[in-house]
Chain A
């Protein structure tokens, strides 16, 4: 044991409890703030992408990892936020201060709609109904594009010009999302979510309104996702229905699977992994000298490598990166005594 025991409720609910944790957190925060000054343009863009995707991944983690509601409609919700932003700023010239809350509101309404099937359906059938809703949202977005004559997509003016400015904006957004998620999870709502994940009948017997918990999970997760979609639209400066394919949903689901279900840290680790993965593959191919020969099919290489990695995680490491991380931690904590196996 580490020798740290909690002696009050205040300590029990603290986000950072030991001094060492606080010190590490401080160091990490400083590292995050100095990163944009050290990184080149490519790495800065990667950092931005990670921060942007982490908002959506944390939102999905709340819904699937904690409340246990399977959703395959994540890209549809991102698209809803992005299209709300695109339409409002194109048609009415709305500023981000209007489009952000509007996206969140649209996300909340859609979350209610996506969540309604969850009151009757579970597991597979729920996943399928959210998948169906995804196709309908994308269809409506595409329909708007063609009707208004933006057949290739809606171009919008990004409010922030520099990549470094974006970095700090996205960092703030990601930090706020993280804080919202952590605070929700240690409150009544979060406990209710975990309870319905465990077993609905027992949760009901404990006085938790299952319907309310499910719908609140969908609404919170969807409005956060739509916010991420809004930021995505501004960051890219471009909204198009093609960007929100089923593959995007799969990437988000992969983030929480690879990161580790039921852990916010997992969502963040998974995001880093999934966002950086294609670049790592590119780098690897350049290293082996294959990139010349395979340049026309790079996306196919990415596809197959991504599928393979996902299968490997599902089969060999269902706990995800967080499970790996915890085993490494325990290995060091217990050293030099009972040594578990680092890799299963």
Chain B
């Protein structure tokens, strides 16, 4: 599975990359620190999954999701935030799922697994 990480904080991107790449068959194919970077790089890499910090600087995430819907309809997006109240907003804007940054990363891994499994069944 090809994963793209979009988060403003390098530390978060680094941690995600280390953890996710430990999973067999998962690969982080790209990273972006803001919306511009994301939109530029995502087409080139054409990932299966995008982990999107819902407060990514540069553009409203709902707008990012709308644009990606047009250009990459097959792309699954997991929205992430420390603000749990953004869950509903993100899902309504078109995110496949929502991961809270205040919860254990193990949950994120399980979430990705579930999403992946559903995809193929």
Q: Do A and B come from one complex?
A: no
Interface residues in chain A, defined as those with a beta carbon under 8 Å from any beta carbon in chain B: none
Interface residues in chain B, defined as those with a beta carbon under 8 Å from any beta carbon in chain A: none
